[in-house]
Amino acid sequence: MHGHNGLDHKSMLDLYKSFVLPVLTYGIEIFTPNSTLIKQLDLFQRKTIKQILSLPNNAADPCVLILTGLLPIEALYHLKILNFFNNICGQKESSIERQIVVRQLSVKSGKSSSWINCVLPLLVKYDLGDVDDYLQNPLNKSQWRLKVHKTVVNYWKEYIDRIARTYSSLKYMNIQYSPGKFHPLIQVGCSSALEVTRLPTRFRLLTGTYVLQVNRCRFNQYAISAVCPNCKVEDETVEHFLLHCSALEQVRAPVMCRIWNLLESMDLTKQVTSPALLAQTLIDWSIIVPNHPSYRDKMLMLEFHIRRLFFHLHTTRYRLYKELSGN
């Protein structure tokens, strides 16, 4: 998708946010789509982001939001419809929209499909108070952000944080969801077109979708062995692939040395006390590296070397594997 001269993931995500998302959700607050359509729009968003990040379709859905800081389409819809409602409340008594809302409130039953009946359940869901309060005292922009925007965004942050913890594939990833912000690893752009080609391996290892022998064995218990085909010493787990496989040691050692030196220069090596923690640090260093501007240059270097390491491990593993199956 990115090609040798393609855009990097960060630029593509910025393009998605600026040009695709506004079209996807255009007018959503007026025509009030049903839940099936919302699910379809959300599916489109997830598939598009997974394609941009070169992730397979089976990647855990919450990782799409955690990596990009995007809100689910349902949350965007709620924000837009509540925002539109507040705008109507702020209009003069003589405005047609306001008169329609007041009329719908007075004559429509709770079961009708009128527009206001899409707003009322949301005021209850997010515990935002009474509809009459908004009609009498509409919020200005800063009050709106402080009350409604914050409440809706926090609701979804808690929801995503909760469900992300249930995905074992995300066990190495920093799953802290910050709506509106890229994940620290996504914030690091690409310094060259060559680096773009290293991203698929990097993101697959980050999201637990890089397929190793243990994953293949899980689905073909009798036909496929979990043992590493290259060194034949132990099961090919993430830790084995990144840290222990002797067949990959030649490509691993020099890059690992650079990575370790960088961690040492940030005084972080004392936190990496076990192979599991080292694997976790390699896959998502944002777990231990403080998100501070003074670390910025070192973070960029660290991510550069980790992308390099993962890519070289991947290509060497694949080459050895092909040589073996050729024999």
Q: How far is the CB of 232 from Zn ion (least distance, A)?
A: 7
Sequence-ordered alpha helix ranges (H) in 16-149: 21-24, 28-31, 35-52, 61-68, 73-89, 96-107, 116-125, 131-136, 141-144
Binding residues for Zn ion restricted to 244-273, rule: CB under 5 A: 245
Residues 212 and 313: their CA atoms lie apart, in Å, by 12
Sequence-ordered alpha helix ranges (H) in 287-326: 296-326
Q: How far is the CB of 181 from Zn ion (least distance, A)?
A: 37
Task: Closer to Zn ion by CB, 42 or 236: give it.
Answer: 236
DSSP 46-60: HHHHHHHTT--TTS-
Task: Closer to Zn ion by CB, 35 or 327: give it.
Answer: 327
Binding residues for Zn ion restricted to 200-229, rule: CB under 5 A: 228
CA triplet 153, 158, 161: central angle to 5 degrees? 120
Q: How far is the CB of 246 from Zn ion (least distance, A)?
A: 6
Q: How far is the CB of 230 from Zn ion (least distance, A)?
A: 5
Contact 272, 281 (CB under 8 A): yes
Binding mask 129-158 toward Zn ion (x if CB under 5 A, else -) reads ------------------------------
Binding residues for Zn ion restricted to 226-245, rule: CB under 5 A: 228, 230-231, 245
Q: How far is the CB of 231 from Zn ion (least distance, A)?
A: 3
Task: Closer to Zn ion by CB, 175 or 228: give it.
Answer: 228
Task: Closer to Zn ion by CB, 231 or 300: give it.
Answer: 231
Task: Closer to Zn ion by CB, 68 or 230: give it.
Answer: 230
Task: Closer to Zn ion by CB, 207 or 316: give it.
Answer: 316
Q: How far is the CB of 249 from Zn ion (least distance, A)?
A: 10
Q: How far is the CB of 233 from Zn ion (least distance, A)?
A: 6
Task: Closer to Zn ion by CB, 148 or 283: give it.
Answer: 283
Phi, psi of 272 (to 5 degrees): -95, 85
Task: Closer to Zn ion by CB, 46 or 244: give it.
Answer: 244
Q: How many residues does the chain have?
A: 327
Annotate 91-128 with b (16+ C-beta within 10 A) or e (fewer): eeeeeeebeebeebbeeeeeeeebbbbbbbebbeebeb
Two structure tokens written together for 22:
């506004």
Task: Closer to Zn ion by CB, 250 or 271: give it.
Answer: 250
Binding residues for Zn ion restricted to 164-193, rule: CB under 5 A: none
Number of residues counted as binding Zn ion (CB under 5 A): 4
Binding residues for Zn ion restricted to 268-307, rule: CB under 5 A: none
Q: How far is the CB of 212 from Zn ion (least distance, A)?
A: 10
Two structure tokens written together for 272:
């990496």
Residues 285 and 68: their CA atoms lie apart, in Å, by 17
Tell whether the torsion through CA atoms of 237, 48, 80 and 82 is positive or negative. Answer: negative
Our separate counts of H helices and E strands in the chain read 18, 0
Q: How far is the CB of 213 from Zn ion (least distance, A)?
A: 9
Contact 204, 54 (CB under 8 A): yes
Residue ranges in contact with Zn ion by CB under 5 A: 228, 230-231, 245
